[in-house]
Structure 1
Amino acid sequence: MTLPLIIAEGTPTEIGVSYGRQAAELIAGNFADYLVKFQDTGGHDPAEVTRLGEEFRATTHRHTPRIAAMLDGVAEGSGLPVGDIYALNARTELMVPPITECTGVAVLPEHTASGHTLLGQNWDWYPSQSPFTLVLATRDERGHEVLALAEAGMLAKAGLNSHGVGVGVNLLTSDRDGAPGGVPYHVLIRAVLDARHGIAGSLGVCSLPRSASINLLVGVAGGTAVDLELTPGLTGRVLPQAGILTHANHFVSGIDVRDRFYDLGGGSSLFRDFRLRQVLETAAAERRVTDKDVMAALQDHLGFPHAICRHVNHEDPQELWSLTASSVVMDLDERRMLVTSGPPCENPYQTIDLSDVFGSARPDSGF
């Protein structure tokens, strides 16, 4: 099974309306699925969900007006109330998820066979969400292009842009979460990709207010990578070691927070980041890592079923069921994404090249 590719161009509003119209059925299905989760894990009824979404709309307009224009357009195009679209993009803030998600990796160009920066991650989440996953490609009126995995109605998860910047994301949870006035979790991800001035501009996401913790692994073509552990009011930084940077779902930068991950009783996050490095380190030391090596690492089953490549464990209560919904590997120099629908051990990677989507020349500046 391949993921649907949604292509939208124009001003931010035009992009949002086009996306909303093309994916209206998927967006409605995704929101209906999350309404159940908002009630079960956050105690929010539909009216409160809409009200809270309107509050996040206000903060998004204040701090990221172009992204807000896109989300307003998604609401118009899909026919859903605008507050519901913002609630979708703030799904992490509106839930208390009992599961953790994602293992990410960046490999620097001096350690890859191609001399390119590679970025990859597995996105682990609830099985019920899988039917509502897509790939979104956008080109705005300035010529700036973005290619991103996304949940229907959202603007990004893992992705890359036409300036060679890529991002992966991991769920974090801390004692600082729940602060009012933040920009939604998935708007923060899109803000990395919407920045037009390379990685320096993308790292400006640190200045945006937050209501929930988030980890962003940001890399750039022909260059470097940095991991940002963002909580309300604090930022931690992690840098590559021996050409590899990995991250899972617990804090490692040493910032002054109480990591609520440990309230879940530990788990696979405590080894997944190290295991991903362990699988790739020999090839990295020999400066020969390829995208196939990263794909193979993301299929690793040590600790099965709670491994890098995650599968439903039917011995767990149903509310704890999770699996690798998508696996993504990106060559940031080639502006190429390889992505699966479902666990990568069972599903082939489909290839999407940003230059093929729009048939345009790549910008020659911005690194």
Structure 2
Amino acid sequence: MQLPLPLITSSGTPRKCGNTYGSLAAAAIAANTANYMARFAAVGIGAEQAREYGALFRAASHEYAPRVAEMLDGVAEGARINVDEIYALNGRTELIYSVEPGVARTQEPAECTALAVLGERSATTHTLLAQNWDWHPDQRPYALLLDTTDDQGRRVLALTEAGMLAKAGLNNAGLGVCVNMLGTLRDRRDGGVPYHVLLRAALEAPHLGGAIKAVCGTPRGASINLLMAQAYDGGTPGEAIDLEVGPDDVGFLHPIDGVITHANHFESALSAVDTLKYIGGSSFFRAARARRLLGAGRIEEERIKGVLRDHGGFPQSICRHEEPGAADVDRTESLFSLILDLDERRMSIANGPPCTAVEYHHIGLEKTG
């Protein structure tokens, strides 16, 4: 079955994995880097300043996530792109959305509705994650799947953008991550390790505790929500947790009746001011609606697909569609929709918006012992 987007595979040391990826996707990475450099310029960050931020991101990444940084350095080498521009690309959330400290941004975060279902609630007894990735529709041509196997035997499959290492994905230890953008008045552009490097560091972890440690122990500038889960072999029930991560604080949400849902606003008692309160938007009902649509009893994957295709609040619905007449900077839709079966180590992915998808396409990973 043909996948709805390119698949890049690489193996070896982190540097070699990155180099192979960069070489195989060089044209897409060059185009995506140029695209984001133009987006940075549109918010007042010229090329030289973007590279200066990239150098800061690179230094922080090498200090706190060195294996991920080695892979990104390899991407730059393989694609023959300025390494600081590659790090600026991976800091696109910080550079586009962060503003002066204490100043609320004016754009609603466009990224995603996510959910987790524990085995006690899923029809197959498997631990499941799912989400729609909502982003600017012009970014669809730069999306790809990255499948890497490193020199320690860790295999990671992630949906990402060309030149980045991860967005939502899973690894062969049964650990999966979904992501939502958040925002606080404390977000800043030069606060440490970029959002997308942090995502990859979580996916590189061998277990859920290690992923949580990677997130909490890494300095960051942008807020991010990570919905994480892991399936365990041998009949041990899986686990899920939601981490609402600000620049200097972390909040936690745990499953209720075996389910977690999340959108783009804070729900925990984090000691930070949520900038979405100054903007408003569909996030304030999407997560609650997703939980309600999941309903009672055992939850099949078809029901999850129905939630991801839901049009309540259209066009700013769980299945997001472009708003007629929206300014270019505000254009967004569900680019891809995915379901992760962590017991099977399987990703199922559909071109978005998912209401138009006839089927989800499947790709699996081998388990580790």
Band the TM-score falls in, shorter-chain normalisation: over 0.9
Q: Secondary structure at the match of 1:110?
A: coil
Cross-structure match for 1:37? 39
Give me the whole-angstrom Cα distance separating, in 2, the residues matched to 1:37 and 1:326.
Answer: 21
What does 1:12-27 align with in structure 2 at a 5 Å threshold?
12-27=14-29
Cross-structure match for 1:270? 284
Q: Partner amino acid for 2:246?
A: T
C-alpha distance after superposition, 1:55-85 (max 9, x if no partner): 1000000001100000000000001000011
In 2, are the aligned partners of 1:93 and 1:211 still within 8 Å (CA)? yes
C-alpha distance after superposition, 1:335-358 (max 9, x if no partner): 000112221111232111113xxx
C-alpha distance after superposition, 1:19-68 (max 9, x if no partner): 00011111111112212211223x10111111110110000000011000
Give me the whole-angstrom Cα distance separating, in 1, the residues matched to 2:303 and 2:9.
Answer: 29
Task: For residue 176 of structure 1, report the CA deviation from its aligned partner.
Answer: 1.2
Q: Partner amino acid for 1:147?
A: L
Q: Secondary structure at the match of 2:278?
A: helix
In 2, are the aligned partners of 1:248 and 1:272 still within 8 Å (CA)? yes
Give me the whole-angstrom Cα distance separating, in 1, the residues matched to 2:190 and 2:142.
Answer: 29
Which of 271, 295, 299 in structure 2 is aligned with 1:281?
295
Q: Secondary structure at the match of 2:354?
A: coil
Note if 1:149 corresponds to 2:163: no
Q: Secondary structure at the match of 1:92?
A: helix
In structure 2, the CA distance between the partners of 1:186 and 1:247, relative to structure 1 (3 Å rule), is same
Give me the whole-angstrom Cα distance separating, in 2, the residues matched to 1:292 and 1:9.
Answer: 34
Cross-structure match for 2:80? 79
Aligned length: 351
Q: Partner amino acid for 1:123?
A: W
TM-score where L is the length of structure 2: 0.93
In 2, are the aligned partners of 1:16 and 1:70 still within 8 Å (CA)? yes
Give me the whole-angstrom Cα distance separating, in 2, the residues matched to 1:322 and 1:338.
Answer: 22
Q: Partner amino acid for 1:54?
A: A
Give me the whole-angstrom Cα distance separating, in 2, the residues matched to 1:57 and 1:341.
Answer: 32
C-alpha distance after superposition, 1:299-337 (max 9, x if no partner): 000000000000111232232110001111000000000
Cross-structure match for 2:7? 5
Cross-structure match for 2:228? 218
Cross-structure match for 1:351? 362
Q: What value does the CA root-mean-square deviation take over the aligned residues?
A: 1.2
Give me the whole-angstrom Cα distance separating, in 2, the residues matched to 1:270 and 1:121.
Answer: 17
Cross-structure match for 2:323? 313
Mark the runs of 5 or more structure 1 residues left unpaired by the alignment: 356-361
Q: Secondary structure at the match of 1:38?
A: helix
Give me the whole-angstrom Cα distance separating, in 1, the residues matched to 2:286 and 2:32.
Answer: 28
Q: Partner amino acid for 1:199?
A: L
C-alpha distance after superposition, 1:156-193 (max 9, x if no partner): 00000011000000000001111644111001110111
In 2, are the aligned partners of 1:291 and 1:331 still within 8 Å (CA)? no
Give me the whole-angstrom Cα distance separating, in 2, the residues matched to 1:255 and 1:320.
Answer: 27
In 1, are the aligned partners of 2:56 and 2:192 still within 8 Å (CA)? no
Q: Secondary structure at the match of 1:218?
A: strand
In 1, are the aligned partners of 2:191 and 2:247 still within 8 Å (CA)? no
Note if 1:230 corresponds to 2:245: yes
Cross-structure match for 1:358? none
Mark the runs of 5 or more structure 2 residues left unpaired by the alignment: 98-104, 232-236
In 2, are the aligned partners of 1:179 and 1:232 still within 8 Å (CA)? no
Task: For residue 237 of structure 1, report the CA deviation from its aligned partner.
Answer: 0.3
Which of 358, 364, 368 in structure 2 is aligned with 1:363?
368
Give me the whole-angstrom Cα distance separating, in 1, the residues matched to 2:75 and 2:264.
Answer: 30
Cross-structure match for 1:177? 187
In 1, are the aligned partners of 2:108 and 2:276 still within 8 Å (CA)? no
What does 1:245-256 align with in structure 2 at a 5 Å threshold?
245-256=260-271
Cross-structure match for 1:195? 205
C-alpha distance after superposition, 1:202-261 (max 9, x if no partner): 111211101111100000114110000111110000111111101100011011111101
Note if 1:293 corresponds to 2:295: no
C-alpha distance after superposition, 1:73-116 (max 9, x if no partner): 00000010000110111111111282421110000101011110
In 2, are the aligned partners of 1:299 and 1:345 still within 8 Å (CA)? yes
Q: Partner amino acid for 1:262?
A: K
In 2, are the aligned partners of 1:99 and 1:322 still within 8 Å (CA)? no
In 2, are the aligned partners of 1:3 and 1:340 still within 8 Å (CA)? no
Give me the whole-angstrom Cα distance separating, in 1, the residues matched to 2:176 and 2:35.
Answer: 28
Give me the whole-angstrom Cα distance separating, in 1, the residues matched to 2:317 and 2:32.
Answer: 26
Note if 1:138 corresponds to 2:148: yes
What does 1:108-127 align with in structure 2 at a 5 Å threshold?
108-127=118-137
Give me the whole-angstrom Cα distance separating, in 2, the residues matched to 1:281 and 1:225.
Answer: 19
Which of 297, 314, 320 in structure 2 is aligned with 1:304?
314
